[in-house]
Chain A
C-alpha cells in the first residue's frame, strides 16, 4: 500500500510537469485551432538554451528561466510571423505539414550544432524531501508548485484581464471579435508566442530531471498530445488533469507491469478517450470539431 501511495504521488508530480509542457500546446490549439507539430522541438531548443546558460554561466536552470522564457516568446513570435501566419488561411493540411517540416528542421539543426550526445546539468538538490512515509525529489515538488501557480495565474489572466477577454472572444467567434475592434491577428501572435514561452518555462523545470538531445522533443510531444486530448483541446485545467492522469498511469504501469509497456498504456488510454470521449475529460461540447474547417 505504501508503494502504491508513493507511486501515485510521484505520478501526480511528474504528471504536473508534463501538464506544464502541454499547456502551451493546448492554448495555441484552443485559440488558433492549429496543431503545432513542432511543439516538442520548441521544448528541445529551450532545454538546450537552459543547458547552455547553466553550463557556460554556472547558473542553475531555474534562474535560466528568466532569460529563456522571454527568448522563447520572441522565438514563438518569429515562427508565427514566418510560418503560421502564412498558413492560417490555407487548408488545414498546410499548417500540419509546415509545422512538421519545422520540427524536422529544428531537430536536425540541433543535431548539426550539438551532436547527438545526451547533455545533463549537475544535480541541484542532493537530498529528497520526506513527508510522512513518502519521499519526493525536490525538483519534482518545485515543478508541481510552479505548474499550479502557472495554471491558476493563466486562468486568472484569461478570466479577468482585457487580453484574456479578447482571447476568449476570439475563440468564441473570430469574425465577431474582429468587428468589435479586437485585433485578432495580434491575439493569435500573442497566444502563439505565449504558448512558446510556457514551453520555455517547462524546459527549465524539466532540464534537471531529463537529459537533452536533438530528438528529445519527439518523446515529449507525443505525451503532450495525449494530455491535450485527454483534457480536451484548449482547456487549461483539462491539461493539468490530463497530465496528472498520464503521470499516474505511467508510474503505476511501469512499476506493476514493465517500464517498456508503461508507455503503451497511455497510448491505449489516449485511443480509448478518442473513441469514447472525443471532446476530452473536461472538454466542452464540440471541442472535437475544432480544426475541421478545411
Chain B
C-alpha cells in the first residue's frame, strides 16, 4: 500500500515564525542570536549574574519538562538530582582532583541512576501520590547528604577552592560562565527538540495522555517513564554541576531544598508544560524578575520578590493554564482584521 506523500508546498518549507513541534523556527533563531549578543555585550556584573542564572534555570526547567511536561511525571524532587550532580563533580574535583569536564558527565550519569530508581520506586503511583513520593525521595537524599559528612561536608557544606583555570572549570570572567550556561541551555533545548519529533517523544506523549491505550498499542509505559525520568534527571544533574562550578560552594539545605524543586517545576508551568519553548519563556520572564527584585528590594523588604512572583504564578495558573507558550499561540492565531 502506498500513499503518495503530499508534496511540500512552498509555504510549509519556509521557516515557521513561531515555534512548532520538531521544527526550527525564526523565533528560536532570533532568541538564540539575542542571547549570544547579550553574552558578548559588556553588561554590568549584576546583569551578567542575572543573565547566566536565567540561562542555567532555562536549561534546568527544560530538563524538568522532559519528565514533567512530556512524560507526565510531575516531580517535586528534582533537587535531589540537582544535588547529586553538583556533589558528584565537586567531590571528584576536591577529593580526587578529577577535572569537572569529566566530573560533570559522572554527575549526570549518577543522577540518571537516581532518576531511574525514583521512577521504579514510584512505578505504580499516579497523580498526587507520585508528586508526594518525589518530594519524600528528595528529602531522603537531602538528609542523607546532610549526615554523610565525611563525603559531603555535612551541614558546613563543601567549597571548591582551586585556582581559576580551564581544566578546573573555574573562571574569573563571568562572560565565560554565561557562555557555558548558554551552551548548557542550548544543549538541553536541542535534546528536547529532537525528542519532540522522534518516535520516542511520541511514545512519551502517548504514555502521558492515556497509559492504557499506549500500552495496548505496544508502547511499554514502564520503560518510557523510567527512561524519561533518567534522561531528565541526568540533564538536571549536569545543571547541578555547572551551578557548583559557578557558586563554588555547596550546602545540602540549599542545593537539595524543596524550594529548588518547586522552582524547577514552576518555570515550565508558567511558560507552558510540554512545549520546548515554554520553560525557556518561563525562565526568561521569572528568573530576571525575581533576581532583579531581590537585588533592588532585597534589604528593604525581604521576600517581596517572591510575593510578587507567587501572586503572578497563581494568576497565570488560574487564567492561562497553558502557560505563556499557549498565550503566544493564541496571539498568533488572533486575526483582528479578517
Q: Which residues of A contact B (CB under 8 A)?
A: 29, 35, 83, 86-87, 90-94, 96-98, 100-105, 107-109, 111-112, 115-116, 214, 218, 222, 225-226, 229, 233, 258, 260-261, 263-264, 267-268, 270-271, 274-275, 278, 288-292, 294
Q: Are A260 and B146 in contact (CB under 8 A)?
A: yes
Q: Distance (Å) between the CB of B279 and the closest chain A CB?
A: 14
Choice from B135, B266, B302 contacting A111 with Cβ under 8 Å:
B302
29 A–B contacts from the bound complex (CB under 8 Å): A35-B131, A35-B132, A87-B318, A94-B321, A96-B131, A97-B317, A100-B265, A101-B310, A101-B314, A105-B310, A107-B303, A107-B306, A112-B303, A115-B302, A214-B303, A222-B139, A222-B258, A225-B132, A225-B135, A263-B143, A267-B136, A270-B136, A271-B121, A271-B137, A274-B136, A278-B124, A290-B127, A290-B128, A292-B126
Interface of B is mostly: helix
Asked whether any CB of chain A lies closer than 8 Å to the CB of B40, the reply is no
A102-B304 CB under 8 A given contacts A97-B266, A222-B135, A274-B122: no
Give B319's nearest chain A residue, CB to CB: A86
> How many A-B Cβ pairs are below 8 Å?
139
B144 interface contact, C-beta 8 A: yes
User: Which bucket holds chain B's interface residue count?
Assistant: 35 or more
Query: Are A101 and B136 also in contact (CB < 8 A) when A108-B304, A260-B146 are?
Result: no
**Given pairs A104-B306, A108-B303, A274-B136, 5 additional interface contacts (CB within 8 A):** A96-B131, A108-B306, A268-B140, A270-B133, A288-B129
Q: Does B105 contact A (CB under 8 A)?
A: no
Q: Is B126 a contact of A289 with CB atoms below 8 Å?
A: yes
Nearest CB of B to A36, in Å: 10
Distance in Å: Cβ of B32 to nearest Cβ of chain A: 28
| A229 (CB) vs chain B CBs: closest residue | B132
How far apart sit A173 and B313, CA to CA, in the bound complex (Å)? 32
Return A118 CB to nearest CB of chain B, in Å. 16
Q: Which residues of A contact B129 (CB under 8 A)?
A: 229, 274, 278, 288, 291
The interface residues of chain A, by DSSP majority, are classed as helix
CA of A214 to CA of B302, assembled, Å:
12
